[in-house]
Structure 1
């Protein structure tokens, strides 16, 4: 996807985003290529083509957020680039849910660093349902058990 197509697509998905946020996603794609992070780990000598592949997957991640969370949340995800907090497509839905629950770029960065926002495939977006499921599992695992609660086998 060319940058012009990417820019126009993001404006369609997130009309309320700050226009200066969109070029930061291109910058993120360029940084990924310069640090030899290639989409699906498929290296290419054509740097422009590699950046365009990144724009494709970034667009697909933002599309998934738009489809399941709406344009306001998508705009908030796009605007994270100004923090700077650009995300891989596999992180975008979990970050969108964090934003919907009142989180911000600092909280999202903290959750990525400590593994609360994780992904099995950096390049592919996940559904809202899957993101909510991961959050529910993390919440259950992090809730301390009440003292006196029965353990397996009837032990206390």
Structure 2
């Protein structure tokens, strides 16, 4: 059934597949095998074989016309893709992910003994509006997948 749209079948083979599909539909609906096909198809619960093939063809053509690779395949097969609408450029998915910078929690931050360190840390964590207060600092560390990483950090 899934490969049928891609095969060349004779009219006799098509009728055989359609009869098998009707028989399965009757069993599924629980109607007797001698029920008229027009009444079984009139329930409109299951699509006919012709409807399924048309829907499959429309889905494939839509899928191929909405991407650059699909249009290239259509051109290789001889279809004219010049009159199709322009495919809009989309942003890569990683642009939608917000950047969250999590700094490690420093040791020795007792609220009574290390009040000066806590105050300095609070001051550093406050966002600044000035872009000029940024300076580039280079950080390097070893990792399993990346040897060097660079990022911007606000200066104090």
TM-score, length of structure 2 as denominator length: 0.24
Of structures 1 and 2, the one scoring higher in RCO (CA 8 A, sep 6+) is 1
Q: Where is the helix percentage greater, Structure 1 or Structure 2?
A: 1
Which structure's CA Rg is the greater one? 2
TM-score, length of structure 1 as denominator length: 0.24
